[in-house]
Amino acid sequence: MSRQIAALEHLKVYFYDQGDRRFIRAVEDVGLTVEQKQVVGLVGESGCGKTITALSMMGLIDGEPGVVGGRFFFRPKEEDRRALIFAIMRGNRKKYDCRKGELFDLFCGLDDCVRFDADPFTVIKDPEKWLRKNGRIMEQMRGRNISMVFQNTREALNPFVTVGSQLVRAVQCLENDKNRAALAARAEELLLSVRIFNPGYVMNMYPDALSIGMSQRVLIAIALASRPGLLIADEPTTGLDTTNKHRIIDLLGENMERGNMSLVIISHNIGIVRTIADRIYVMYAGLIVEHGNKKEIVTGRKNARHPYTEALVSSVPTDADIKRGKKLKVIEGVVPDNKMETEGCPFLPRCRYAKGGIRRKCRTRRPELFEVTSGHRIRCWLFAG
Ligand SMILES: Nc1ncnc2c1ncn2[C@@H]1O[C@H](COP(=O)(O)OP(=O)(O)O)[C@@H](O)[C@H]1O
Ligand code: SF4
Ligand SMILES: [Mg+2]
């Protein structure tokens, strides 16, 4: 039977715009579950909150107030369980309700650090208190349990340090053997696992000398060095040509099988996600608007999918289009401003289906995620029971 490794619930992440004196609602309500050895895809247009969701799961949000709501249940590796429980208890002496079966809430204590005021709308967070609680917990989890391949390949590698030294440093965090030769051998093995077939040569290179595709492979190798239970790959194929895109996807899949790992793959392109993901979460304006298995999301009937999912799927060029050099089609309309609170459905200004009696509801009330079939949910009034 498959077991959950991660369950993110109702994530909310805000920033404050000093100039406009308004909160930016980067993520409003995101939930996703990942099972062991499963590939989950997170897809949506640029700016919808995918990277912020991933960084929240890594405990790496830079900006205030940052994570202001939600829970993030995670199953640590057996050998890291005690240390995690200790870290959670140190930060939350009085309460210890941070457990759901074998999974532990990595956001434990968040409610103690955040206060919402209604009029005027304000969120007050104690950043130091949060850092003390979440920082300790995430130190235990980052790397060995949850690892991430960052979106911006160039910035993620240190330009002044050779590929070999950066890899050896990553390997050192896990291996008990501190012998230099053994560490270098493991680093070379990692490069081979991402299909870099001249590892000795590449180890001595500086990142500037690598192509985008090679940098991406090195970053994946670094993320794999700690043998994480969950790997989050944020736009891992950006900037690559079609052949290299497929190679990166293939090698992520291979390593996942080999390493007994779960994978969350993030992309603005549903065409990429659908080649590898078992389950897909579709995001729009900081919200999950649909989730289901790949078949339901990608090839489901038009009237059994969210109008936004339908637009995303039809934005993917066909094989013939690709041969003619066509890229993703742009979806008509403008993405909503995340400084404004939307009462109704945020997709309304771009939606072709909000007609007749339903339109008033679309304008005034935000739909919840309605269950269409078991495991398939859609945030749209057209699917209300
Ligand atoms: N540090 C920050 N301060 C203010 N706004 C931010 C910050 N980081 C991200 N945002 C905003 O949050 C929203 C979601 O960003 P992001 O998660 O990077 O989108 P995606 O990865 O889906 O393209 C965007 O509107 C972005 O401008
Ligand atoms: S709730 Fe209304 S506006 Fe939103 S996607 Fe459904 S039909 Fe369109
Ligand atoms: Mg992003």
What is the DSSP annotation of 276-300? T-SEEEEEETTEEEEEEEHHHHHTS
- Rounded to an integer, the average pLDDT of 308-312 is 95
Burial of 176 (0-12, 13-18, 19+ CB in 10 A): exposed
Most informative mutation of 14, 51, 308 for ligand 1 (most atoms within 8 A of CB): 51
Kindly tell me if the per-residue pLDDT of 288 is higher than 70: yes
Regarding the beta carbon of 46 and ligand 1, being less than 6 Å apart is answered yes
pLDDT tens per residue across span 345-368: 999 999 999 998 899 999 999 999
- Rounded to an integer, the average pLDDT of 282-307 is 93
Q: Give the pair of three-digit tokens for residue 331.
A: 């979806």
Regarding the beta carbon of 289 and ligand 2, being less than 6 Å apart is answered no
Q: What is the distance between the alpha carbons of residues 248 and 215, in angstroms, rounded to a whole number? A: 11
pLDDT at 330: 82
Where along the chain do its domains lie?
Answer: 4-145+270-383, 149-227
pLDDT at 79: 93
- Rounded to an integer, the average pLDDT of 144-173 is 91
pLDDT at 177: 64
CA 191 remoteness from chain centre: 24
HSE-CB of 67 using CA atoms within 13 angstroms: 32
pTM above 0.85, yes or no: yes
Q: Exposure pattern of 191-212 as b/e (b: 16+ CB <10 Å)? A: bebbebeebeebbeeebeebee
Most informative mutation of 305, 345, 370 for ligand 2 (most atoms within 8 A of CB): 345
pLDDT at 39: 97
Question: Which one of the ligands is nearest to 235 CA?
Answer: 3
Kindly tell me if the per-residue pLDDT of 94 is higher than 80: no
Q: Where are the alpha helices (DSSP H) in 210-269?
A: 212-224, 242-259
4-145+270-383: CATH number: 3.40.50.300
Regarding the beta carbon of 48 and ligand 1, being less than 6 Å apart is answered yes
Regarding the beta carbon of 269 and ligand 1, being less than 6 Å apart is answered no
**Long-range CB contacts (< 8 A, 24+ apart) of 156-160?**
156/219, 157/207, 157/210, 157/215, 157/218, 157/219, 158/207, 159/206, 159/207, 159/208, 160/206
pLDDT at 162: 96
pLDDT at 176: 65
pLDDT at 119: 83
pLDDT tens per residue across span 195-211: 999 999 999 999 999 99
pLDDT at 326: 73
pLDDT at 216: 93
How many C-beta neighbours within 10 Å does residue 302 have? 11
CA–CA distances in Å: residue 271 to residues 222, 245, 317? 26, 11, 8
pLDDT at 321: 75
Kindly tell me if the per-residue pLDDT of 175 is higher than 70: no
Name the percent of the chain lying above pLDDT 70. 98
Q: What are phi and psi of 169, to 5 degrees?
A: -60, -40
